[in-house]
Amino acid sequence: MAIKPITGMLRRTIVLDLSVAMGLGVAAGYGWWYGYHVPAVRHRDAYYQRIEDERAQALGQK
């Protein structure tokens, strides 16, 4: 009894693997960007804004 050839199986597997990898990569990228990077930048900007406000206030009072 002959076994039917498996055609297109490798192509489907590669397309599925690439699709899953790209999807997970994009999701991880969004998670890092909005979960870590944006809050860190906001925190840093608030710090420098506070320093600048204190400096401006000190110069204005003298």
Q: Tens of pLDDT along 18-59?
A: 999 999 999 999 999 999 999 999 999 999 999 999 999 999
- The model's pTM: 0.68
Sign of the four-CA dihedral 33, 36, 39, 42: negative
- Alpha-carbon dihedral sign for residues 8, 10, 13, 19: negative
